[in-house]
Amino acid sequence: MTLVLVSAAQKSGAAQDQKSQQAVDRIASLFSSTSSIATVKMQISNEDGQRDLSMKIWSLGDKVLVRITQPQDEAGTAILKQGSDIKYYLPKSNRTVHIPASMAMTSWMGSDFTIDDLVKEPFLTRDYSIGTSYEGKRGGVAVYEYTLTPKSDAAVVWGKIVLQFRQADGVPTWQGYYGDDGKLARELTFSEYKKESGRLIPTHLVMKSEDKGGAQTSIDYEDIAFDVPISKGTFSLPNDSR
């Protein structure tokens, strides 16, 4: 009888692990697929005022291209990721700069989003262990909350990540990034859920950094299409010598 009970508990634990991994994988890949093309607006609000950027984002496999289209004086500025290689293109000087991993966590255009946020696919289930930290209602909505803690061999910068998502449809509502000291470093909220290409996604994202006072950056998805044809030639920069 004891062996049967142990076996049942192990199966239950394995099923829970698989469920949580599937949920986190689904959220991590919410804005990506075999391919995607998106038009987004970024609004940066801080003590210096407000700036609006319009961008287009293409993704195909492990390739991602982010290009600013407006305002005119920033148009053409781009990030290109191919595999683990990230390049930053500056049209005013016609320069391409290779971005090392250490710089990928720096701010993009003075926003609260990093280069890593925009172009790197997060390997959350590979790098973090997942534990359920809350299950119930918040603000009248039934949610699950997972706490992700780094695995011993993971090369990550966060002490933990807390992810909250709706039980009904699995879409995220809030994500918190914590330092090694256990303090909240930044938070990302999701809202304005819409179906795009048959997929329910949040189209309004707001990132706030705790060390920047009242500053925040929002991203609005004006349009996004998944699994669309994209030429491989799309993923190049004007002065790319390849």
Specify if 86 maps to a domain.
Answer: yes
Among candidate residues 143, 152, 136, 148, the one with its CA nearest the CA of residue 17: 148
Residues 173-209 pLDDT 10s? 999 999 999 999 999 999 999 999 889 999 999 999 9
Specify if 1 maps to a domain.
Answer: no
Q: Please give the tally of structural domains in the chain.
A: 1
**CA angle (13, 18, 19) in 5-degree steps:** 95
For residue 106, give the amino acid letter: T
**CA angle (159, 175, 204) in 5-degree steps:** 145
Specify if 84 maps to a domain.
Answer: yes
Tokens standing for residue 50: 């407000």
CATH assignment at residue 100: 2.50.20.10
Under the banding of pLDDT at 50, 70 and 90, the label for residue 242 is very low
* pLDDT-above-70 percentage for the chain: 92
Specify if 241 maps to a domain.
Answer: no
The continuous run of DSSP H or E covering 86 comes out as strand 85-90
Residue with tokens 């938070």: 187
For residue 7, give the amino acid letter: S
CA distance linking residue 25 with residue 125, whole number of Å: 7
170: containing domain: 7-234
Specify if 18 maps to a domain.
Answer: yes
Tokens standing for residue 88: 């930053």
Considering the entire predicted model, what is its pTM?
A: 0.88
